[in-house]
Amino acid sequence: MARAALSDAPVGTDPDDDAAARREATPAAGAGPREPATDLETGAPPLRVTWIAPGRCDALDGVPDVLPERGFAWVDAHYEHPRAWLPTVERLTGTTLLEDHLSDAENATHPSYFDSTRDYEMIVFRGLAYRPETNVEEPIRIRTRPTVFFLFPRCVVSVRPADSRQVPALRTRLLEAGRYKQRLPARPEELMLRILNGMVDRYLDLRQPLTEQLEWWQRELLDPRRPFRDWVSLLESRRQLRKLENLSEEQLDALQEWRDERLDRRGGADEPPAEPGDAAEAATTSMPPLNDALEVRVNDLVEHIERVLGHARRLETSVESAVQLHFSATAHRTNQIMRTLTVLTAVFMPLNLITGIFGMNFDVLPGIHSPTGFWWTMATMGVIALGLVAFFRARRYLEETGLRGAARRRRRRGP
């Protein structure tokens, strides 16, 4: 078996980047290290078969007639070439796949999902299709694409986008590990879990930009110097959080169903078959149960997805709380303004009464012909106004309502 010559590209963290985002993320000349190349960039064939055995990993030039005694085969294919991988898989496994499962593998909008037959298992897992932008003023749009896995007792098939970065990088790393006698996956399930772990890590990396954007929205919502008007972008961000929550729930359901079915097989492994011929048939057709090491890996992957799900729910709750706090602060500022206007109206009301009385058209009014009557009236009005202001301040009706006081507090806090 010949080993293919592959580039020594570093291992990436991007499982599924779409073409547009890949072009944007590609650095210019001299801009730093380049991300792992995709199959579209290298012109790699749409179907590659890798044989993984204890202590060695080989890239096969052709398809063997029979599987070797040790190890398992990894068939990596693109779903841009529908069913080009099917003859190879049927030749390696001797199993015919159901038409419904083949249609699901070609459906780019299929949610995360698990299903099984007597001969194989199918897991659909949606991964991120782009690298999030760093502009916090624009909503982070979560786009995903599925990667489909078919698990056989000694074969695993991955049907993925051709511009995926993680899977080619993992294949390169496995070939290098086999060359230097490093640890390799011992079972098809372990290889699949390694790929899924990289896909989930991308969702974990999404938490920081989402948190930074939420903090920016909170500052904009609670800024008293300018009203908030970008409600469309805020609602779009909330919709993306809900989308992330739904994606995580679908992933959890698919992975837990697969884990539970494998654990059920392990629990029933010691039970005697109903008929003598069933044991031999089950040994050749059913999938093996999970061992303790794989169960720990699956539980760890489930815990990572639950962390993403919990973070999405917390962010969504924080957005709703920030919106409610914005409306509460707006209502509070309106109440302050109305209270200030009410106090001013109460202060000037007796003054208007006095001016109205002395503005009556009577010939005889007390003090109207006195040379000091005007000044006594003005002094009385001033005393009444100052007395009312002092009374309202003592009753804390003017607390934090004046424009002068607000300006003084802003100057004290600084720019």
Tell me the whole-structure pTM to 2 decimals. Answer: 0.69
- Provide the token pair at 299: 């539980």
The answer to whether residues 164 and 77 touch, using CB atoms and an 8 Å cutoff, is no
CA distance 310 to 372: 78
pLDDT tens profile 327-358: 887 787 788 778 878 888 888 888 888 888 77
Q: Which residues of 28-40 are buried (b: 16+ CB within 10 A; e: fewer)?
A: eeeeeeebbbbbe
DSSP notation for 203-237: HHHTHHHHHHHHHHHHHHHT-TTS----HHHHHHH
What lies within 8 Å, CB to CB, of 68 at 6+ separation is: 51, 53
pLDDT of residue 209: 84
DSSP notation for 21-85: HHHHHS--TTSSPPPPPPHHHHT--SEEEEEEETTEEEEESS--SS--SSSEEEEEEETTSTTTT
Angle at CA of residue 213, ends 210 and 217, nearest 5° = 135
pLDDT tens profile 99-157: 999 999 888 889 999 999 989 999 999 988 766 565 666 778 888 889 999 999 989 99
Answer with the residue of higher pLDDT: 411 or 354.
354
The values of phi and psi at residue 11, to 5°, are -70, 130
Mean pLDDT of all residues in 355-381 = 79
Q: State the pLDDT confidence band at 43, using cuts at 50, 70 and 90.
A: low
pLDDT of residue 12: 33
pLDDT tens profile 288-300: 788 888 889 999 9
pLDDT tens profile 169-199: 888 888 888 666 678 898 999 999 999 998 9
